[in-house]
Chains A and B, each alone.
Chain A
Amino acid sequence: MSNTQNNGIKNSWLKYEKEIADDHYYYARSCIRQNFFPASEKTFLKILQQELGKDVFDDPRHTTCTGIAYHSDVIPQETTATVIARHFALMTDSGYENLALSCVTSFGLYTEILETWKHFPEEEQKIREMLWKATRREFVKPKNMAHTSDIVFHNHQKIAALSQRKLVNVHTGKPLNVVEHIGCHYSKLFPEKGVGVLNFLVFWQT
């Protein structure tokens, strides 16, 4: 592939390049991940905090975002939006502005709520009033929002340098084939908010 062609691909996918905060995250837990894969959340925090020396705040006040109930349609959007607004308020209260989301459903929902507020500013005002009435809390919207897999991707070179064992076939020395399931609400709801092709082009070249 020529440089011109390569640059053309890069330019066409530029909107899919994602900015990922490098440090100081407010951590949002996942209902499913911590229930059925509890060591997964623990390991992520261990890598970030102990191996990479990053600041990640695991706030005991943080709860579900209500995502499963929301997508099962037993609660209205206003309830979910206000619970998420409470999380923004807890983040603001703790002095953080970058959100690290452990759950793909949460990633889709937090993004959906922020996008809804862009298209319908009156909805943001309504939710701010509801949050105040229910909890006397106020919030600043996050400056950066990333799924935990984005953050691992952002640090992949540092993690690789620190890793004790490589994921290679011991007989051939070749890398193992790895398949990653990308959650629907990470990749389908707002594709431009996820890590996209340009990031991967950079990844392949490194």
Chain B
Amino acid sequence: MQSLYAQLYNDVRFVEGLTACMNCGVCTAICPAAEFYNYDPRKLLNQLQQKDDVAIEELLKSETIWYCGQCMSCKTRCPRGNTPGFVIQALRKLSVNKGYFVESEKGRQQFAIKRTVGENILKFGYCVHPEAVVPNMHPEQGPVWQWVYENATEVMERMGANYKKAGPGTMRKIAVEDLDELQRIFDVTGGTEMFDSIEKYSQQQAAKMNLEFNDQTPNEYFFNVYTENSNNHNKIV
């Protein structure tokens, strides 16, 4: 059984992201997430450089690794060419594979993202689709989106789209044979396996939390992870 550090090192993003950090803290200074969240990329890289598996497991179960927005500002400034954002990607992948992501509030949100953005890829051929941006689940979209959603066919036609029709054009319907190719790519490359991992551990967590869990979206567990906010994430000043 490989150590957690060795498993992280199997990910090229980890190799590229953490080369020789001298803990100068420039990444933290420029990081927008560190401005608002209890998050410090400098501290994160320092912890990882210890190669301590107990500390890494704690990290994989923590809220910390889910605060990064992957804007990659850190890549632009590091004098040693490190990218904490890439390291975060490797940490999250391992957290999902190990099932540790359900131990944190922010980590549990992976389930909602998988059921929406993730499944949209295999259903529509795009990460986002107007049908999937349901207004009552997206109040941030406001009344204009509500109107667009209710009149999507007419609006899209007016905008010159080829909405849900075969052939080229904006918002076209992706043919079944192309969606099948995407599914086969997911099967061959580990995408399906990662989806299954998110489902499996989320179902176990739903049972622990005594929340309904099924194939329908949304369900009780989905609503919980989609809306839960302990407000314990802010930067401690």
Chain A residues within CB distance 8 Å of chain B: 29, 31-32, 34-35, 38-39, 41-43, 58-61, 63-64, 66-69, 71-79, 81-83, 86, 108, 116, 119-120, 123, 130-131, 133-135, 184-185, 188-189, 191
Q: Which of B52-60, B124-132, B207-215, B221-229 contacts A (4 or more CB under 8 A)?
A: B124-132
Whether, in the assembled complex, B188 has its beta carbon less than 8 Å from a beta carbon of chain A, the answer is: yes
Contact A134 B185 (CB under 8 A): yes
Is there contact, CB below 8 Å, between B128 and A74?
Answer: no
Q: Are B128 and A63 touching (Cβ within 8 A)?
A: no
- Given known A35-B171, A63-B174, A82-B188, contact A77–B182 (CB-CB < 8 A): no
User: Are A76 and B189 also in contact (CB < 8 A) when A42-B170, A185-B72 are?
Assistant: yes
Asked whether A188 lies within 8 Å of B76 as measured between CB atoms, the reply is: yes
* Contact yes or no, B184 A75, CB < 8 A: no
CB distance from A184 to the nearest CB of B (A): 4
C-alpha gap A146/B60 in the complex (Å): 37
- Sorted from nearest, which 3 A-B pairs have the closest CB atoms? A79-B191, A42-B160, A73-B92
Asked whether B71 is an interface residue with its Cβ less than 8 Å from the other chain, the reply is yes
* 7 intermolecular pairs with C-beta atoms under 8 Å apart: A39-B160, A64-B121, A73-B92, A74-B118, A75-B195, A133-B188, A185-B72
Chain B interface size, under 10 / 10 to 19 / 20 to 34 / 35 or more? 35 or more
User: What's the nearest-Cβ distance from chain B to residue A28, in Å?
Assistant: 12
The answer to whether B191 touches A63, judged by C-beta atoms less than 8 angstroms apart, is no
Identify B160's interface contact among A38, A69, A83, A130, CB under 8 A. A38
Contact yes or no, B191 A76, CB < 8 A: yes
Which residues on A sit within 8 Å (CB–CB) of B121?
A: 63-64, 66, 69
Query: Contacts A73-B93, A74-B198: A79 and B159 contacting too (C-beta < 8 A)?
Result: no
Q: Flag if A134 contacts B194 (CB, 8 Å).
A: no
> Interface residues of A: mostly helix, strand, loop or mixed?
helix
B residues within 8 A CB of A42? 159-161, 169-170
- Asked if B13 CB lies within 8 Å of chain A CBs, one says yes
Option from B117, B166, B186, B191 in Cβ contact (under 8 Å) with A68: B117
Contact B127 A66 (CB under 8 A): yes
Given A38-B159, A64-B126, A77-B12, list of 13 further CB < 8 A pairs?
A34-B161, A35-B129, A60-B168, A60-B172, A63-B174, A68-B128, A73-B93, A73-B110, A75-B191, A75-B195, A119-B16, A123-B12, A188-B72
Q: Is B82 part of the contact surface with A, judged by Cβ < 8 Å?
A: no
**In the complex where A41-B170, A68-B127 touch, is A79 in contact with B93 (Cβ < 8 A)?**
no
A135 touches B184 (CB 8 A): yes
Of B117, B167, B189, which contacts A72 at CB under 8 A? Answer: B117
Query: Given that A78-B190, A86-B185, A135-B184 are known contacts, is A71 also in contact with B70, CB under 8 Å in the complex?
Result: yes
Determine if B113 is an interface residue (Cβ-Cβ < 8 Å): yes
Neighbour of A184 across the interface among B12, B73, B175, CB < 8 A = B73
Taking a contact as CB atoms under 8 Å apart, the answer to whether A116 and B12 are in contact is yes
What is the CA–CA distance of A86 and B179 in the complex, to the nearest angstrom?
Answer: 12
Is B187 an interface residue when CB atoms closer than 8 A count as contact?
yes
Among A31, A58, A79, A123, which residue has its beta carbon within 8 angstroms of that of B168? Answer: A58
Considering the complex, which residues of chain B in the window 24-72 have a beta carbon less than 8 Å from any beta carbon of chain A? 70-72
Interface centre among B113, B133, B170 (most CB of A within 10 A): B170
Across the interface, do B190 and A76 meet the contact criterion of CB distance under 8 Å? yes
A38 touches B170 (CB 8 A): yes
Query: Which residues of chain B are near A41, meaning CB under 8 Å?
Result: 170
Bound CA–CA A184/B74 (angstroms):
11
Min CB distance A65 to B, Å, is 9
Q: Does B102 contact A (CB under 8 A)?
A: no
Given known contacts A64-B121, A67-B127, is B113 in contact with A76 (CB within 8 Å)? no
Query: Measured between C-beta atoms, what is the minimum distance from B188 to chain A in Å?
Result: 4
Least CB separation from A78: chain B residue: B189
For residue A123, which residues in chain B have a CB less than 8 angstroms away from its CB?
12
User: Are the C-beta atoms of B128 and A61 separated by less than 8 Å?
Assistant: no
State A58–B171 Cα separation when bound (angstroms): 12
Give the distance to chain A from B194, nearest Cβ to Cβ, in Å.
6
CA distance A189 to B75 in the complex (A): 6
**Nearest CB on A from B62, distance (A):** 15
Q: Which residues of A contact B117 (CB under 8 A)?
A: 68-69, 72, 74
